[in-house]
Amino acid sequence: MFTRQATKVLRSLRKDNSCVRVQKRNHPITLSLRNSSTKVVIIGGGAMGASAAYWLTQKSGNCNVTVIEKDPTYANCSTSRSVGGIRQQFSIPENIQMSLFGAKFIKNLKNQFGPEADISYAPNGYLILASPQGAQQLAQNFKLQQELGSTNTLMTKDQLREKLKWLNVDDIELGCMGCEKEGWFDPWGLLTLFKSAAVSKGAQFVQGEVKNFIFSNDKNLKSVKVHLPNQDKKVFEFDTCVLAAGAESGAIARMAGIGTGQGDLSVALPVEPRKRYVYRFDSQGKNVPPVNSPLMIDYTGVYFRKDGPVFIGGRSPDSHEEPPADNLEVDFSYFDNTVWPLLAARIPAFESVKVQSAWGGFYEYNTFDANGIIGPHSTFKNLFFATGFSGHGIQQSPAVGLAIAELILDGKFKTIDLKRMGFDRLIKQQPLYEIGIY
């Protein structure tokens, strides 16, 4: 989402147009090409691509990194339009571990980027609510989160009623409340830090649009064709390519024949744009949630959090409600007919609300299992994916960027074993579904 700070920076830029357990062993990844000086092209300069560039340049002085980004203003980028949340309340161990890494990264932000680094982190936590039918799953998720190092608290109906007097808990059985490792931050601020640090270490950010891949004689990938803003065309050669193009990743993968060939190449990268709305509103009701209230996610899927003096909130549409993703126009009737009734039922003060503004954004949605795809392609060993995070990408970007850098420079995952998140699960038809998670 656009915080006040992010909006100010974005305007200035536009103006100048400038419960499975993870095995604790590392799994080696065989690379097709390892040079003393590695040339890496990253397609996509949002938080995920910028994080990969940051970690590559931090870990190696011999890594030549070029990031290709179509829109340097990031006006429609998923990063810029994110709500900016971070939480460990997942059911898949890898997602929990990546978020824990992100929380530690944010805590040590000034050590990474200097004393002036600030992304306006609000450690107000998350509150996920469960109905009687979903209570057992919430408790199981909580147990796993605790085992992996989260600091969440499981609360009964009576405890919720006593602590959060603004909340209607009549149909709630349990709630899981996050502590200091959960909250929200300015996504634009994090992107800017990644990008600035990578550039200071020699990374090059190029404005351009990828139009095709070029193959070597042995049918491996060797370069990309890019259209520059002045209508010039340029070819960027690489030893390794990282596809981190957000919602456009699936379409770009098809340029390499992924999803249109035979064998493993018949399996597409299942990432496509899904439009989501975020509404900013005020309440004239009594007993409104206070300034330190958590980001609440109801079992109906509706959510809200504080945003300065007002609130922001929304709900991901059900499959039959998916709006077309060919524009970013906002449907205000969706708030009136779907979001508002659910919010008002959960928070009585929201029976009287006034929508002040709203925006649309794109999820880079993984239609296979709604989780990130991280690691090399099975055929093109020098093509790495960092995409498909389906709304969780901004909080996972520090960990994923490091994971990609480790694969390229070290040949294996070293910090978090993310092998299960790889492309192979698509080929083997082994989805990783979050359970009881929104």
Question: How high is the pLDDT of residue 179?
Answer: 86
Residue 437 within a domain = no
pLDDT for 265 beyond 60:
yes
pLDDT for 16 beyond 70:
no
The vertex-181 CA angle with 395 and 296, nearest 5°, equals: 75
Which of 325, 342, 365 is the endpoint of a domain?
A: 365
Give the CATH number for residue 263: 3.50.50.60
Question: How high is the pLDDT of residue 37?
Answer: 59
Least confident residue range of 20-34, 108-122, 318-332: 20-34
pLDDT in tens, 416-429: 999 999 999 999 99
pLDDT above 90 coverage of the chain, percent: 85
pLDDT for 31 beyond 70:
no
pLDDT in tens, 340-362: 999 999 999 999 999 999 999 99
Sign of the CA dihedral 37, 38, 39, 44? negative
pLDDT for 22 beyond 90:
no
Residue 284 contacts residue 115 (beta carbons within 8 Å): no
> Are residues 379 and 353 both part of a single domain?
no
**Beta strands at 383-387 and 240-243: parallel, antiparallel or unpaired:** parallel
From the number of C-beta atoms within 10 Å of its C-beta (0-12, 13-18, 19+), residue 142 rates as buried
Give the CATH number for residue 127: 3.30.9.10
> Are residues 346 and 289 both part of a single domain?
yes
> Are residues 278 and 228 both part of a single domain?
no
Residue 359 contacts residue 328 (beta carbons within 8 Å): yes
| Cα–Cα distance measured from residue 190 to residue 51, given in angstroms and rounded to the nearest whole number | 9
Residue 164 within a domain = yes
> Are residues 213 and 132 both part of a single domain?
no
> Are residues 401 and 350 both part of a single domain?
no
Least confident residue range of 20-29, 157-166, 280-289, 363-372: 20-29
> Are residues 128 and 244 both part of a single domain?
no
What stretches of 162-239 adopt beta strand conformation (E)? 174-177, 183-184, 204-207, 209-215, 221-227, 233-237
- What is the mean predicted confidence (pLDDT) over 162-179? 97
Residue 152 contacts residue 142 (beta carbons within 8 Å): yes
pLDDT for 3 beyond 70:
no
| Cα–Cα distance measured from residue 288 to residue 310, given in angstroms and rounded to the nearest whole number | 10
Question: How high is the pLDDT of residue 20?
Answer: 33
Question: How high is the pLDDT of residue 30?
Answer: 29
Which of 365, 385, 404 is the endpoint of a domain?
A: 365
pLDDT for 6 beyond 70:
no
Residue 328: domain span: 123-182+273-365
Residue 88 within a domain = no
Q: Which helix (H) or strand (E) holds 408?
A: helix 393-410
Smallest CA-to-CA distance from 254 within 271, 278, 239, 273 is with: 271
Output the pTM of the full model.
Answer: 0.90
> Are residues 304 and 360 both part of a single domain?
yes
Structure confidence at residue 78 as a pLDDT band (50, 70, 90): confident
Which of 330, 350, 365 is the endpoint of a domain?
A: 365
Question: How high is the pLDDT of residue 319?
Answer: 85
Residue 65 within a domain = yes
> Are residues 76 and 194 both part of a single domain?
yes
Residue 104 within a domain = no
Residue 357 within a domain = yes
Smallest CA-to-CA distance from 98 within 154, 148, 168 is with: 148
Taking all residues of the chain, what is their mean pLDDT, rounded to a whole number? 91
| Cα–Cα distance measured from residue 73 to residue 18, given in angstroms and rounded to the nearest whole number | 8
Structure confidence at residue 436 as a pLDDT band (50, 70, 90): confident
Number of domains in the chain: 2
pLDDT in tens, 90-149: 999 999 999 999 999 999 999 999 999 999 999 999 999 999 999 999 999 999 999 999
pLDDT for 330 beyond 80:
yes
What stretches of 270-379 adopt beta strand conformation (E)? 271-283, 295-297, 303-307, 310-314, 353-366, 373-376
Structure confidence at residue 159 as a pLDDT band (50, 70, 90): very high
CA–CA distances in Å: residue 242 to residues 141, 193, 246, 265, 383: 32, 20, 12, 17, 6
Q: Dihedrals φ, ψ of 303, to 5°?
A: -140, 160
> Are residues 194 and 317 both part of a single domain?
no
pLDDT in tens, 209-235: 999 999 998 889 999 999 999 889 999
